[in-house]
């Protein structure tokens, strides 16, 4: 099998699996218990919190462990918005489903949501964002890397604007964590969401940074774990496995650019079009493609017959009939959006696999006579 869907999930690394197993056997105590078994688990938990804080370049007391990137987005957005004094929020049309879910919840509570489109290059227009700010704007939530087409948003510029107006800024960094330098902006934002399973850690584990200086209202008031912001006994083995994956993860930037260029070269005379940003505005490991006249779901299923795994966009949108949010945010029509499919590279990807993908796509195009 050729697996090219790393943006959806990466396989757990051997080191992460071993770390999980060891922690489950040796640190099974509840981190809130006062006996030695609880103390051993609590020590591992706080060490993990320090590792994540150092990787992000943030205050460790703002790091809250969650069950996923989705939960992190929900907690950050709802807690910051409800803790503010305004009723207006700025986000984009192309955010992750969890962000839209949080916005829908707030909209029902009387908040007004401004959803910005993407430019032709798949990024936010920062001038339009600044023009959208109002006196009652209480939160900005714009992702770092789009999960469908891999464009890198101008988060540093957005953070500068947010700080100038003293507006909390939340950044979904699930796709960029450990792949891009987050320290270039982390000290200037108020919330960052990350997840373990995109980088070889376990599913069901993530973290969110919430600036301790910002006022937040817990989604579930009265819970006791994680500063009262996230209830439930923490999964210590999963958290240990997560930080193990973080410490060993290496993003193969040069290789992924080479593979991306290779695939584009193979398909340059085909009816495939690449949906992407310009130069440094693009993460090379996520490739959005449209095949003229063919639905992306057909391409995905056809490649699966040849044991090649890709996707039609975010796995969280798999049941959507409207196509991908990023394509629609770039103002492509619905027909174009349904032609979209995504290829994403990871630690196990080889040049031979990319070449196999390209030749299989060309064979499929020939069979379809397009």
Catalytic residues: 316
**Any residues with CB less than 8 A from the CB of 43 and at least 6 apart, and which?**
none
**Any residues with CB less than 8 A from the CB of 360 and at least 6 apart, and which?**
303, 306, 308
Q: Could you tell me the two tokens for 248?
A: 């060993």
**What is the rounded CA–CA span in Å between residue 226 and residue 173?**
20
**What is the rounded CA–CA span in Å between residue 326 and residue 256?**
21
Give the up-direction half-sphere exposure of residue 208: CA atoms within 13 A in the CB hemisphere. Answer: 28
Element (H, E) at 195: strand 191-195
Strand spans (E) along 76-188: 88-92, 112-116, 137-141, 169-172
**What is the rounded CA–CA span in Å between residue 238 and residue 203?**
8
Place of tokens 């770039």: 330
Q: Residues, the chain, total?
A: 370
- For the beta carbon of residue 85, count every other beta carbon within 10 angstroms: 7
**Any residues with CB less than 8 A from the CB of 221 and at least 6 apart, and which?**
228
In order, the DSSP letters of 323-351 are --HHHHHTT--HHHHHTEEEEE--TT--H
**What is the rounded CA–CA span in Å between residue 174 and residue 307?**
27
**Any residues with CB less than 8 A from the CB of 93 and at least 6 apart, and which?**
115, 116, 117, 118, 325, 328, 329
Beta strands across the sheet bearing 286-291: 272-275, 286-291, 340-344
């Amino acid at each position: 099998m050729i697996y090219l869907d790393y943006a959806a999930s990466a396989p757990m690394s051997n080191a992460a699996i071993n770390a999980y197993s060891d922690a489950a056997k040796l640190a099974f105590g509840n981190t809130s218990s006062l006996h030695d078994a609880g103390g051993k688990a609590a020590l591992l938990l706080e060490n993990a919190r320090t590792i994540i804080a150092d990787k992000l370049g943030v205050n460790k007391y703002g790091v809250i462990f969650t069950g996923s990137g989705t939960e992190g987005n929900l907690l950050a957005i709802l807690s910051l918005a409800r803790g503010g004094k305004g009723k207006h929020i700025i986000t984009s049309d192309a955010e992750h489903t969890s962000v839209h879910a949080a916005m829908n919840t707030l909209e029902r509570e009387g908040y007004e949501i401004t959803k910005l489109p993407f430019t032709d290059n798949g990024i936010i227009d920062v001038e339009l964002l600044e023009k959208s700010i109002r006196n009652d704007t209480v939160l900005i939530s714009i992702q770092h890397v789009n999960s469908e087409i891999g464009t890198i948003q101008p988060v540093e510029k957005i953070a500068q604007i947010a700080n100038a107006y003293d507006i909390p800024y939340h950044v979904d960094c699930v796709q960029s964590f450990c792949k891009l330098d987050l320290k270039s902006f982390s000290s200037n934002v108020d919330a960052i969401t990350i997840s373990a399973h995109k980088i070889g850690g376990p599913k069901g584990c993530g973290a969110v940074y919430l600036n301790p200086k910002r006022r937040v209202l817990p989604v579930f008031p009265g819970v006791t774990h994680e500063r009262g912001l996230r209830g439930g006994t923490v999964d210590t083995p999963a958290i240990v496995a997560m930080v193990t994956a973080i410490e060993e993860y290496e993003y193969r930037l040069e290789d992924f650019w080479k593979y991306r260029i290779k695939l584009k070269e193979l398909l340059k005379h085909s009816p495939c079009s690449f949906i992407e940003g310009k130069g440094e505005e693009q993460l090379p490991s996520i490739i959005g493609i449209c095949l003229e006249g063919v639905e992306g779901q057909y391409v995905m299923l056809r490649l699966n017959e040849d044991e090649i795994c890709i996707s039609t966009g975010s796995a969280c949108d798999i049941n959507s009939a409207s196509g991908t949010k990023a394509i629609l945010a770039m103002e492509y029509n619905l027909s174009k959006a349904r032609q979209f499919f995504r290829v994403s590279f990871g630690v196990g990807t080889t040049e031979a696999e990319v070449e196999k993908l390209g030749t299989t796509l060309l064979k499929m195009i020939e069979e379809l006579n397009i």
